[in-house]
Amino acid sequence: MSDVPFDPSTAADLGGQQQPSEEEIRAYLSQLREAPVDQVLAEVANALLNAAQVKVGRRDGRLLIDGLAAMTDAVRGHAAEELTTQLDEALTQLRMAQVEGEQQVAKAAASGEAEAGDLASEPGEATGTAAPADGGEQADQQPQQAPPQQQAPQGGNAASRLWVPGR
């Protein structure tokens, strides 16, 4: 199987490169069908890991981490234990980096530096209206109600302030 998967939907956007023939597409699909599921899962996980690393600290980075965690949980017991162990380790590192990155992004936002292209709200938030992507409020919008936050235990050690997916 090729290191670079072919996506027929983007074939027209290859910038003048020749589109694959129907025979090449069939050969790719045959390779994909015969590929071990662990290999396919590893490739998908790798794409999510890479994207999450690039977006660490942003809301969309958190969404990618949550997606990878959901995928890992869904395949646990069905895929090789080595794969899920590696994914668990990578998720732990990403979550720690995400917490640190969110602090840096918050500092930058406080000084007026906005993150272009980030999600308008935290993943998992159910709000009636979306916040502007630049973090500013529009004059004609009513204030949003924040979802209820879980209270940190009194004494608030560092572990109690860690990001937990879905919270």
Q: What is the C-alpha separation between 116 and 10, in angstroms, rounded?
A: 25
Structural domain contains residue 121: no
Q: What is the pLDDT of residue 53?
A: 95
User: Considering its fold, how many domains does the chain have in total?
Assistant: 1
What would the two tokens of residue 152 be?
Answer: 């940190």
Helix axes 81-110, 37-54, angle to 10 degrees: 10
Output the six-digit token pair for 14: 């290859």
| 129-146 confidence digits (pLDDT tens) | 444 444 443 334 343 343
Nearest CA to 131 out of 150, 153, 114 is that of 114
Q: Is residue 119 part of a domain?
A: no
151 contacts 91 by C-beta, under 8 angstroms: no
Residue 150 falls within a domain, yes or no? no
In a domain, 165, yes or no: no
Q: Evaluate whether residue 102 is within a structural domain.
A: yes
Q: What is the pLDDT of residue 8?
A: 54
Amino acid 52: pLDDT:
96
Question: Residue 29 has what pLDDT?
Answer: 94
How deeply is 67 buried, as exposed, middle or buried, from its count of CB atoms within 10 A (0-12, 13-18, 19+)? Answer: middle
Measure the CA–CA gap between 84 and 18, rounded to whole angstroms: 38
Looking at residue 145, its pLDDT comes to: 41
Q: Could you tell me if residue 29 is inside a domain?
A: no
**80 found inside a domain:** yes
Measured from the Cβ of residue 45, the count of other Cβ atoms closer than 10 Å reads 21
| Structural domain for 83, as ranges | 37-114
Per-residue pLDDT, 16: 64
pLDDT of residue 15: 61
The token pair that represents 34 in the structure block:
């015969």
Rounded distance between C-alpha atoms, residue 82 and residue 50, angstroms: 19
What is the mean pLDDT of each successive set of 10 residues along the chain, which is 167 residues long? 54 68 95 93 95 94 96 95 96 96 89 81 60 41 38 42 54
Residue 26 in domain = no
Q: What is the DSSP string of 14-64?
A: STTPPPPPHHHHHHHHHHHHHS-HHHHHHHHHHHHHHHHHHTTTSHHHHHH
Coil, strand, or helix at residue 82?
Answer: helix
